[in-house]
Amino acid sequence: MTRVRGTLATILGIVLVGASLLAATPARAFIDKDCGDFATQAEAQAFFIENGGPALDPHALDREHDGLACETLPCPCSYSSPQPAPPAPLVARCAANPKVTQRAVVESVIDGDTLRVRVDGRRTKVRLLGINSPERRKKGYGEATKALKKLTPPKRTVTLTSDPTQPYTDQYGRLLRFVKRGSKDANKLQLAKGWARFYDARTCAPLTTKQSYLRAERSAKKAHRGIWK
């Protein structure tokens, strides 16, 4: 009987020590991530899915709420949940594409370089060529979005023009276009006002507007405008 009591006492002591150690261990801290923490879209998408996406997005990586995280990051890309059509073969995409000009009505401004529009009654997204504005929660995100909204207000008509050196759409199905409202080049003005950096994916050849857009970016940097303050 004494031996049994001694064994029980030993077990109870081990349990109490373990409980005290668990109580003393701090809860695992939530480490917030943003798109800048990932090298590629595929890496961000894998993290997004592992952490509850698309139903949950505790790190706010899916800014457009379309199930795709950090869409502006370079490929390799992952199309899990949902899966858009794969991009056209590189040979076809790299052929010189005839210039396309379309009239569109702005529905909303998603951020400093992306619009939601209606073209011929069809709703679609437009990624402005040649620029890259700050991601959500990055310096200048809100101001860049407001600046584009001022240039392309909802319910107003804009002109969308493709670049012969670029594909008509990106890997997410968004139209790749220069956007003008009247004579105002929204892409270039976002650079000139300092709310975007010049961005050339160089899918096949440099943008036709490359030199002009670089001058606009340099002007904003020199004057310390927008994100360059």
* Residue type (1 letter), 23: A
**140 touches 199 (CB < 8 A):** no
The architecture of the domain spanning 90-228 is Beta Barrel (2.40)
Average pLDDT (174-185) is: 97
Average pLDDT (143-153) is: 98
Q: What is the pLDDT of residue 21?
A: 47
For the chain, the structural domain boundaries read 35-83, 90-228
Say yes or no to pLDDT of 22 above 80: no
Say yes or no to pLDDT of 74 above 80: no
Say yes or no to pLDDT of 70 above 60: yes
Average pLDDT (28-53) is: 80
How many other CB atoms are found less than 10 A from the CB of residue 226? 24
Q: What is the pLDDT of residue 86?
A: 45
Better-scored residue on pLDDT, 23 or 99: 99
Question: What is residue 132's three-state secondary structure?
Answer: strand
Better-scored residue on pLDDT, 99 or 50: 99
Average pLDDT (202-211) is: 86
**179 touches 115 (CB < 8 A):** yes
- List the alpha helices (DSSP H) in the chain: 2-24, 41-50, 90-94, 141-151, 186-192, 210-223
